[in-house]
Structure 1
Amino acid sequence: MIPRYHLQKKEREIKEPKELLAIIKKGKYTTIAMCKNNEPYIVTLSYGYDEIKNALYFHSRQKGLKCEFIKDNPHVCATIIEDRGYIMNDCAHEFRSVIIWGNMYLVETLGEKKHAMDILLYHLEENPDKIKQESLSNDKIYRNLGMLRLDIIEINGKWGR
């Protein structure tokens, strides 16, 4: 495991678990860094947060570059940013962010795919039941979905201005 560096400006660290959780719950997308054979890859995906499993779920293809990277090396690092805007004429940007370390896996079972899609839709959509009725009407559709799960191991937070 790579040693973690501490924030140089400790007063900007977000330590309160409720505040870290609020950033995750408010966010809609995360940028995920992966590595395979010393080659980096980064991707931005919409997510749903499962508070009970302390995991993020993503919709994806069942095959492709992400899946190849994940199969080879499940260790990932992700960031979620709550952008509060650039402050004009002050040369500053206000934000809160979390960095997440964890392991990412392909979701294999039908039951977990259904659970994952529920988590994703209820996190992102205003009317998730309508989407489910219109687009997810049978098990064949779920079987063909690619879903990913990021099991969170560690979270660090920071705010800035």
Structure 2
Amino acid sequence: MQNRMKHFQLTKEEIDTLLQRADIGRFGTVRGDGYPYVTAMHFLYYNGTIYMHGLPKGLKIDNVKDNPKVCFEVDELLGLQPGEGMACDTEAIYNSVVVIGTAHILEDIPYKREVLNRLVEKYTPQFAGKELPENMVKGTAVIELQIKECTGKYHK
């Protein structure tokens, strides 16, 4: 654990709250050549698990299939506290969460539909409650990230 984490650690409740309200997270996978690949993703934190959706083909899907060990990061910049002497003394006021876990592509169609409906509720609530077409559910990849480790920190 980083030294700062000992003094500036978010509680489990604060971590859950940030994961519930954040709109964008950064999803990190490992490419076939060993290099990391990070992409910004809409996501859902539901039942203690992170879900993301997208096209069923592409680099992040290939990466998950080849190596399910992934990470995920969410942060919020709440402001800047200017230093007294110089710009280098300015400090960021923020909350952040880092997740380490394993990911896989959801195959269970009824559960996939449930997750997609919850994503609709989060991002486009005006369409909540409307039936998702079967071909859209089947044609959308849903990545499920099972959390192994989760830490949160803040600076205020």
Normalising by structure 2, we get a TM-score of 0.86
Q: CA separation in 1, counterparts of 2:15 and 2:99?
A: 10
Q: CA separation in 2, counterparts of 1:81 and 1:98?
A: 6
1:78 and 1:101 in contact (8 A); partners too? yes
Residue type of the alignment partner of 2:53: H
Contiguous gaps of at least 5 residues in structure 2: 84-88
Task: Give the match's secondary structure for 1:32.
Answer: strand
Could you tell me how far 1:56 is from its partner in structure 2? Answer: 1.2
Task: Give the match's secondary structure for 2:128.
Answer: helix
Could you tell me how far 1:88 is from its partner in structure 2? Answer: 4.1
Quickly say closer, same or farther: Cα 1:151–1:128, change in 2 above 3 A. farther
Q: CA separation in 1, counterparts of 2:92 and 2:25?
A: 19
Quickly say closer, same or farther: Cα 1:57–1:85, change in 2 above 3 A. same
Normalising by structure 1, we get a TM-score of 0.84
Match of 2:7 among 11, 14, 18: 11
Could you tell me how far 1:151 is from its partner in structure 2? Answer: 1.2
Match of 2:151 among 147, 152, 156: 156
1:119 corresponds to = 118
**Structure 1 residue runs of 4 or more that deviate by more than 6 Å after TM superposition:** none
C-alpha RMSD over aligned residues: 1.8
Task: Give the match's secondary structure for 1:13.
Answer: coil
Q: CA separation in 2, counterparts of 1:124 and 1:88?
A: 34
1:40 to 2:36 alignment: yes
2:117 and 2:128 in contact (8 A); partners too? no
Q: CA separation in 2, counterparts of 1:7 and 1:39?
A: 24
Output one character per residue of 1:39-94: Cα deviation in whole Å (capped at 9) or x when no partner. 211111000111x2x11111111011011100010111111102212234561111
Could you tell me how far 1:31 is from its partner in structure 2? Answer: 0.5
Q: CA separation in 2, counterparts of 1:42 and 1:76?
A: 10
Task: Give the match's secondary structure for 1:12.
Answer: coil
Output one character per residue of 1:8-46: Cα deviation in whole Å (capped at 9) or x when no partner. 1221122x2111111111111110111134221111100
2:86 corresponds to = none
Matched residue pairs, number?
149
